[in-house]
Structure 1
C-alpha cells in the first residue's frame, strides 16, 4: 500500500489556519495528504479566536516549532511544508532540522542574519511594537491596518472581505523575537541555512508586499549561499502579503505544485 505524501500548511500571524482551505482542496486533488493545523493555542474557528485572544497570546517561535515537530512525529512519512509569513520561517527551521522532505516558504518572515528592514515592514508591525507589553499579548489588526499589511495590491473591497473572513489576533512574541534576532546568539529565528543534506526549498516573494518586502526574501536567499541543497526563488511582482488567500491564490498554489513536481515530490 502506497502512502500519500503528507503536506502541512502552516499559517502566519493574523490569519486563521482555515484560510488554507482552497490550498488543501487543490493539493488534496493532486494526491497529497493535506492538513492545516493551527499554532499552539489556536481555537478551531475564526470566531473563537477573536473571542478568546488570550489562548493565542505569548506563544513564541520555539513553541510553534516544537508544536509542529510534534505533529510531524505522528505522521506516517516525512512531510512537505508550505508556510506563509511566520509560517514560512517555521517551515525553514523544520526543514533545516531535517524534519521535512521539502518546504515552500511564501513571503516568509525574516530569519536571523537577514538585515534589511524596510520602512513598510516597520509600519506593518507597528500595531505590535508600539507597546512593549504586547510581547506577552495577542494583538488584533484593524481593517485599515490589514489593508496596509496584507491587502495593498487588491481592491479595498476584497481586502475588507478577507479581513472579515480570516483575520484573528496574533501573538506579539514572535515579532519581538525576530526583531532582536541579530543581537541574540541563541535567537529562535536562527535557521540552519548551511545544512547540505536538507530537502529542497522554494522561497516565494510578492513584489508589492509591505510586510515582508522582496528585499527581505532575497536577503534570505543569500543566507543559504553556503549550502548546495536546492534553494530556489520565485517572484510574483504584482502580489502582496495576501497572495495565499486573495483572488490570485491559485497562481501561487499551482506554482508551488509545479515546483514540487520538478523536485520529483
Structure 2
C-alpha cells in the first residue's frame, strides 16, 4: 500500500486531479509542505505519492534493486485510482519517471520541475563525479546515495540556494531517505525517454542555481517537447525554496490556460 497524501477535491472549475511525483531521496512530504495546500486552496484535488521504498511506502525487495519500471507501476497505480488521467507534476528523478510514464499513457497536461532530461543522468552524474570523485565512489559502495546529503553544506550545494534559510535545508536533509542506485543511476543511463511517443502538453521549469540539473539540460528537455523553458532564481528543490509560491502560481496559471475543465467536458 503506497503512501498517498490527498488534499482538496475536484470542482467544476478544476475537474482534473493533480498527481505530484517526487524525486530522489524525497517522498510525498516534499509536496505537502507547500504545494498540496496551495492547489487545494485554489480548487484542485492535489495528491502526492511516495514511491516504493520512500516515506511510508514499503518495497517488497531491497531498495537498491528497485527500478524505474517499479516507479512507473507506482505512478500507474495511483493515477488509476484518480480516474486514469490526472495532470502529472514531477520533480528531478520524478520528472524522468513522468516522462517515461507518458510514453505509454495519456494525460491532459504535465509539468516538469527541475527534471532529469530525457537523455538521462549521464551528464548530471559526470558533473557530480568530477566535483567529488572520492565521495562518488563511496556512494556507489553504500548503495543508498545518502552520502551526497551527509551534511547540511552538501544538501545546500545540491538542493538549495546559498541564501536559503538553514532551517529549510536542515528540515529537508533530516527527512531525506535512501535512494535506489538502480533507479536513480543505472536505469536512466541505459534507457532514454522515447520523446516521440510523448504527446502530452508540457510545461518545463528550471532553477537558475540548480546543483544537479544544469540550465542547458533544462533547455534540452524543453526542446525535446517543442516548448520554451522557464527559470526561477532558486535551487534544485523548487517546491521547498522560499520562492516556491512563484513556481506554484506559474503552474496554476499555465493549467488555467489549458482549460482542463473544457477538455474534461469534451472527453466525458
Do they fold alike, i.e. is TM over 0.5?
Answer: yes
Match of 1:171 among 180, 191, 194: 180
* Matching of residues 126-141 of structure 1 within 5 Å: 127=135, 130-134=138-142, 137-140=143-146, 141=149
Is the Cα contact below 8 Å between 1:162 and 1:246 reproduced in 2? no
Equivalent residue number for residue 119 of structure 2: 112
1:84–1:177 Cα change, 3 Å = same
RMSD: 3.0
Instruction: Find the aligned partners of 1:78 and 1:124 in 2 and give their Cα distance.
Output: 40
Is the Cα contact below 8 Å between 2:51 and 2:74 reproduced in 1? yes
Instruction: Find the aligned partners of 1:114 and 1:131 in 2 and give their Cα distance.
Output: 16
1:113, CA displacement in angstroms?
6.9
SS at 2:229 equivalent:
strand
Equivalent residue number for residue 14 of structure 1: 25
Q: Does 1:206 align with 2:212?
A: no
Equivalent residue number for residue 193 of structure 1: 195
Q: Does 1:259 align with 2:268?
A: no
Q: Does 1:69 align with 2:76?
A: yes
Is the Cα contact below 8 Å between 1:128 and 1:172 reproduced in 2? no
Match of 2:16 among 5, 11, 14: 5
The normalised TM-score by structure 1 is: 0.79
Equivalent residue number for residue 216 of structure 1: 217
Matched pairs, number: 243
1:131, CA displacement in angstroms?
4.6
1:199–1:250 Cα change, 3 Å = same
Q: Which whole-Å deviations, capped at 9, do the CAs of 1:211-262 have from their partners, x for residues lacking one?
A: 111111112223335xxxxx342111x2111221121111111111111111
Equivalent residue number for residue 42 of structure 1: 54
Q: List alignment gaps of at least 5 residues for structure 2.
A: 1-10, 261-268
